[in-house]
């Protein structure tokens, strides 16, 4: 993969998506080769034109000679867990471009619109040598805040009909967004939502969040958006990057811990007593979870007795 083999990159991504048993070891090595690619999150409600916008961003960044990776998070198939929308089909214009790599991931039930594998796939793309990585998420809502733990800059895409969406999100939306895009701006109501977003930005955010009107399908407003993204890239503080490192560490730790606990419970391993209490005696799951927490805290403080 480090030698530029895209097939190797794809295989490693499959390891990541399937949570391969050697994943921690693999990713520990990968992180050491990360080059600091710029990560741009693109999120918004279904039908807002996120994929079209990403497609146009790819075109502009490629015209500047930059290599672009895309991670498209699709709703998962309830049967296979795989991606079902096939964002790669929507971006076929770049399918033959050696400087572009597009990977679809199933969200696998992740409430925030991000697959557990997203961060690892982004790191693989970074180590491979992509300059810009675009991360398109399923939808938007209060729980979409986890895009902030992966992306350096987040673009929230809305449409003139998104008024009700804004009312339900408000402060959460302000916390997510570095840039707002009112896409499909040729539709009625675009000016109204543009003004509403500008007003909300002043009300909920300590920094004025820029708002752009675009017609992605006609490439209108895209170059102006790219210029703003470049400005934001230089403004990000060291605190932001430190927070990303902390978030990443916690995410890896909690994810691996959950996997191990689930395995131990399902195989009746170290937690056979808790498993029996849950399944045979119908023990209160909150008390069972409390017992597991106490077990780990005892181990943490060097007390190994159960």
Instruction: List the CATH number of the domain containing 105.
Output: 3.40.50.300
Q: Residue 290: its pLDDT value, please?
A: 85
Whether residue 255 sits in one domain with residue 109: no
The confidence band for 143, taking pLDDT boundaries of 50, 70 and 90, is: very low
pLDDT tens digits, 259-283: 778 877 777 667 777 778 777 777 7
CA-nearest of 247, 95, 225 to 157 is 225
Chain segment 54-70, per-residue pLDDT in tens: 999 999 999 999 999 99
User: Are both 224 and 256 inside the same structural domain?
Assistant: no
- Residues 58 and 167: their CA atoms lie apart, in Å, by 31
Q: Could you report the per-residue pLDDT of 229-265, keeping only the tens digit for each?
A: 999 887 665 566 677 778 778 877 887 788 778 877 7
Closest CA to 170 of 137, 203, 193: 203
- What pLDDT was estimated at residue 183? 95
User: Are 93 and 228 within one domain?
Assistant: yes
**Domain with 97 in it:** 6-236
- Domain tally, the chain: 2
Q: Are residues 268 and 160 in the same domain?
A: no
Structural domain includes residue 1: no
* Structure token pair of residue 2: 């480090």
What are 200-235's pLDDT values in tens digits? Answer: 777 766 778 899 999 999 999 999 999 999 998 876
Encoded tokens for 291: 């017992």
């Amino acid at each position: 993969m480090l030698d530029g083999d895209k097939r190797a990159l794809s295989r490693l991504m499959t390891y990541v998506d399937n949570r391969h048993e050697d994943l921690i070891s693999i990713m520990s090595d990968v992180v050491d080769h990360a080059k600091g690619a710029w990560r741009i999150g693109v999120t918004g409600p279904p039908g807002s034109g996120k994929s079209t916008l990403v497609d146009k961003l790819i075109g502009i960044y490629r015209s500047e000679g930059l290599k672009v990776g895309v991670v498209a998070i699709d709703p998962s198939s309830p049967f296979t867990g795989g991606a079902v929308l096939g964002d790669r089909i929507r971006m076929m214009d770049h399918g033959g471009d050696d400087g572009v790599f597009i990977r679809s991931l199933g969200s696998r039930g992740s409430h925030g619109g991000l697959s557990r594998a997203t961060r690892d796939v982004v790191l693989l793309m970074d180590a491979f040598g992509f300059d810009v990585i675009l991360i398109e998420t399923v939808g938007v809502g209060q729980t979409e805040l986890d895009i902030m733990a992966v992306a350096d800059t987040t673009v929230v895409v809305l449409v003139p009909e998104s008024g009700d969406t804004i009312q339900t999100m408000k402060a959460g939306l302000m916390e997510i967004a570095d840039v707002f895009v009112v896409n499909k701006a040729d539709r009625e109501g675009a000016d109204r939502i543009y003004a509403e977003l500008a007003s909300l930005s002043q009300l909920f955010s300590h920094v004025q969040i820029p708002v752009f009107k675009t017609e992605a399908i006609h490439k209108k407003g895209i170059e102006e958006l790219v210029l703003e993204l470049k400005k934001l890239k230089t403004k990000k503080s060291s605190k932001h990057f430190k927070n990303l490192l902390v978030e990443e560490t916690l995410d890896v730790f909690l994810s691996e811990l959950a996997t191990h606990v689930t395995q131990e419970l399902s195989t009746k391993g170290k937690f056979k007593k808790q498993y029996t209490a849950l399944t045979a005696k119908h023990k209160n799951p909150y008390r069972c979870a409390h017992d597991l927490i106490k077990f780990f805290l005892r181990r943490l403080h060097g007390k190994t007795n159960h």
